[in-house]
C-alpha cells in the first residue's frame, strides 16, 4: 500500500490506519469518530487528503478542450475561481467527480478522486489534443470547521478574506501553498496543497493551535453525508447520470439545451434528454426512524414490500443524533411511504431535503 507524506504524523498521533484507495489512511484518532465529527462542527478539523490526485493542465486551448469532457462551464470560470465538475461517459454516466480551478488563460489546476486518478489522467491525456497533463506530487490537507478561518489566519492572514470557491497562492516559511476556500464537510474552510517535504511541519504548526485537531476518514464520511455530498463509487458511478444523481445544479445553463454552448460534451445526448424528459429514478435523502444505522446496500421498499430503490450512503449523524441515508429511488414511488428493509424489519423513512445539516460556507 502507498503512504502519504503525513503517514508518520498520523501514526505518532495514535491513528488507526486502514486501506483506502490503495493508501494506508487514518480512519480515526484516539478521540474517536463521533467526537472528531462534532469537533469539526464546533471548531476546526484537519484532514489528510493527500491520496487524491492533483493535476495541472496547460495549453492555449486548455479551457475549450476540457469543456468537451465536462458538462460544466469551463470557459466562463473567472480567474482564481474553483468549480465542481464531473467526467461523463458516452452513456451519460459519471466516471468521476472533481474540482478544478482557473489559474490563468492557459492553466487549470484539478483535484480528482484517489481511486479514479489513474483512469482520469489517462482520460485527460488521451482526449486533450494540445494540452499538457502534469501529475503533481504534493501533499493535500483540508482545514474545516467554524473556527478554521480564524485558525488559518494565525499562520496565513491573507486567507481571512478568501470566500467560498476562490483560490490563491500564498507563501508560508518561504514555501508556496496552493489554497482554495472549499472542502467536503459542509463547513467553511480550506484545502491546502503543500510540498511533500514541508507537509508535516505545516500540519504541526496548525495542530499547535487550540482550535485544530486531526480528523480521520470515519468522521470525514459522516460529515459529508450530513452535508448531502456524494462519495464517488457509492452515490455516483458510471451507471448514474448527473440528473439521476440530483446534481443538476452543477451543470450551468450555458451547457444545457438552448444555452450558448449547449451540449458538446461526452454523453451530452443522454444527459440533455434526462433534463428534458425527466428520469425514472433519482438520488434522495431520508431520516431513519429509531437508532439503528441503515448502511449502503440496504433495500428501500414500499409498505407492501415492493422494491423502490437502495441505499448508497447511510449511517448515524452525530450532529442530528439520528440515522440518515441517501439512495436512489424510483420516481413513481416517491409519493408513497417508504421503508428500509433491515434484517426482515421495515424501518420507516422520512423524506428529507439535503443537506441534512445546514452548510456554512463563507460567501463574504
Decide if 103 contacts 57 (C-beta within 8 A).
Answer: no
d(CA 54, CA 111): 5
List C-alpha distances in Å: 212 to 43, 78, 203, 274: 7, 32, 10, 44
Residue 172, SS3? strand
The C-alpha angle with vertex 66 and arms to 62 and 71, in degrees rounded to 5, equals: 150
Question: How open is the CA angle 73-77-83, to the nearest 5 degrees?
Answer: 75
CB 143 within 8 A of CB 50: no
For 268, the grid coordinates are 451530452
What gap in Å lies between CA 274 and CA 288, rounded to an integer? 29
Q: Closest by alpha carbon to 56, among 130, 167, 134, 114?
A: 134
Q: How many residues does the chain have?
A: 364
Q: Tell me the CA distances in angstroms from 184 to 46, 159, 221, 361, one per residue in order.
A: 12, 18, 9, 11
C-alpha grid cell for residue 137? 506530487
- 321 annotated ligand-binding residue: no
Feature table: binding site: 191
| Binding annotation for substrate | 191
Amino acid at each position: 500500500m502507498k503512504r502519504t507524506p503525513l503517514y508518520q504524523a498520523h501514526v505518532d498521533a495514535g491513528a488507526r490506519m486502514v486501506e483506502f484507495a490503495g493508501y494506508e489512511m487514518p480512519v480515526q484518532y484516539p478521540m474517536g469518530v463521533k467526537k472528531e465529527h462534532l469537533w469539526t462542527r464546533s471548531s476546526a478539523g484537519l484532514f489528510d487528503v493527500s491520496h487524491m490526485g492533483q493535476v495541472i493542465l496547460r495549453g492555449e486551448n486548455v479551457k475549450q478542450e476540457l469543456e468537451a469532457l465536462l458538462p460544466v462551464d469551463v470557459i466562463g470560470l473567472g480567474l482564481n475561481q474553483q468549480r465542481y465538475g464531473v467526467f461523463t461517459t458516452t452513456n451519460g454516466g459519471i466516471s468521476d467527480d472533481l474540482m478544478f480551478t482557473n489559474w490563468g488563460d492557459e492553466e487549470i489546476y484539478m483535484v480528482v478522486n484517489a481511486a479514479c486518478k489513474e483512469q482520469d489522467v489517462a482520460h485527460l491525456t488521451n482526449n486533450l489534443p494540445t494540452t499538457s497533463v502534469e501529475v503533481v506530487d504534493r501533499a493535500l490537507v483540508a482545514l474545516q470547521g467554524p473556527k478554521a478561518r480564524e485558525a488559518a489566519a494565525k499562520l496565513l492572514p491573507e486567507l481571512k478574506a478568501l470566500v467560498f470557491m476562490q483560490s490563491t497562492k500564498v507563501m508560508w516559511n518561504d514555501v508556496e501553498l496552493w489554497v482554495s476556500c472549499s472542502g467536503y464537510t459542509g463547513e467553511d474552510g480550506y484545502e491546502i496543497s503543500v510540498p511533500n517535504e514541508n507537509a508535516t511541519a505545516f500540519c504541526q504548526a496548525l495542530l499547535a493551535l487550540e482550535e485544530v485537531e486531526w480528523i480521520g476518514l470515519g468522521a470525514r464520511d459522516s460529515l459529508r453525508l450530513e452535508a448531502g455530498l456524494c462519495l464517488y463509487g457509492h452515490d455516483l458511478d458510471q451507471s448514474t447520470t448527473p440528473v439521476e444523481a440530483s446534481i443538476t445544479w452543477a451543470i450551468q445553463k450555458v451547457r444545457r439545451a438552448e444555452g450558448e454552448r449547449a451540449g458538446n460534451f461526452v454523453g451530452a445526448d443522454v444527459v440533455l434528454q434526462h433534463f428534458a424528459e425527466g428520469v425514472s429514478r433519482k438520488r434522495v435523502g431520508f431520516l431513519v426512524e429509531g437508532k439503528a444505522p441503515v448502511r449502503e446496500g440496504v433495500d428501500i421498499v414500499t409498505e407492501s414490500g415492493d422494491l423502490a430503490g437502495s441505499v448508497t450512503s447511510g449511517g448515524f449523524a452525530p450532529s442530528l443524533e439520528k440515522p440518515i441515508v441517501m439512495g436512489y429511488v424510483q420516481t413513481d414511488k416517491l409519493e408513497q411511504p417508504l421503508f428500509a428493509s433491515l434484517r426482515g424489519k421495515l424501518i420507516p423513512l422520512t423524506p428529507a431535503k439535503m443537506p441534512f445539516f445546514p452548510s456554512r460556507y463563507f460567501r463574504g
